[in-house]
Structure 1
């Protein structure tokens, strides 16, 4: 029997999963298996999600910092984004204090409505050839202040 567990979202934490196995053994028709253990982080991405929020029509931007960890060194060789992404992005390499890192800047020049998208960071490491940074946009129509009407005249 082979068990595969999706560890996405568990980096740097302990994963706990429970599975039910149905058998043809009349004495043990069901067996519960528990799997747990630490999930190693491949990279440090902060924040993991870039949230763009504000008034519609006003350019807005956000950023994430990506750092390579000693255990899994990598370089980012190219970037792509969700098809028809409504945002632009740029990746800038940063070598601060001997740490390899990148700054991902995301901008929406004319934000409207709500959307989700993803920037894909393609690495040269076979363990994780692709990292993802999600982008959420949520923009509101600016409400103009309403003119107050004068109170009715008193008789």
Structure 2
């Protein structure tokens, strides 16, 4: 009788252990299934505002805008690359964006050289969103000139026995009135040219004459100091190529 009781007790313990082991296996399988489901989710990139137009700026100012990008998916969103259409524009790429979270793509544009025109740049964003792998952003706005310099690059080219001369005019923008108080010429350039400035009917005339008497070339900049803090210095570039 005692022997039968022991056998029954061992059998009961074995059955209990088997049930516990089976339950743990089910729990582990369920957890693994949940993890696989999470890993097999998909990211979803959403940019509510894909184009931004800034207010009028003075040429040369840096404009900055942060485009908000949100992950409305169920897996991490990765911004793989951010490419701008011009070297004058840079963009900061965000890190990995968790489901339900958001981050910023900060874009900066240098408006130098865009005076009197519309600054318009395209930023291409590449993501791991399979339904929207590429997103196009746009940054644009008007840039006004402080002054119109025509031309802003003078070229003196000819024979050494010729009288080479050129003229540039500087017309102020009524929004930014100024006076030119002085001029400064790069040292190497000053050895090769003469500069005369006069003002007629509110327009500055810069007359540049070559005085190099031998074959050779030169280049440099004439800096024109103004009394307007918005643009204290204007630049006029000069290049000379003297032949026999």
TM-score, normalised by the number of residues in structure 2: 0.49
Rounded to whole Å, the distance in 2 between the matches of 1:83 and 1:65 is: 23
Rounded to whole Å, the distance in 1 between the matches of 2:187 and 2:122 is: 36
* Larger RCO (CA under 8 A, 6+ residues apart): 1
Q: Of residues 2, 10, 13 in structure 1, which corresponds to 2:117?
A: 13
Q: How many residues align?
A: 135
CA shift at 1:30, angstroms?
Answer: 7.8
Q: Look up the match of 1:115.
A: 218
Within-5 A mapping of 1:66-145: 66-85=170-189, 86-94=192-200, 96=201, 100-110=202-212, 112-141=215-244
Asked which structure has the greater CA Rg, the reply is: 2
CA shift at 1:56, angstroms?
Answer: 2.4
Rounded to whole Å, the distance in 1 between the matches of 2:219 and 2:135 is: 40
CA shift at 1:7, angstroms?
Answer: 2.0
SS at match of 2:188: coil
SS at match of 1:39: strand
Structure 2: segments with no counterpart, 5+ residues: 1-65, 67-105
Cα distance change, pair 126–31 in 1 and its aligned pair in 2 (3 A): farther
More helix by share: 2
CA shift at 1:10, angstroms?
Answer: 1.5
2:223, 2:236 within 8 Å by CA — same for their partners in 1?
Answer: yes
Structure 1: segments with no counterpart, 5+ residues: 142-155
SS at match of 1:67: strand
Q: Look up the match of 2:168.
A: 64
Rounded to whole Å, the distance in 2 between the matches of 1:67 and 1:84 is: 27
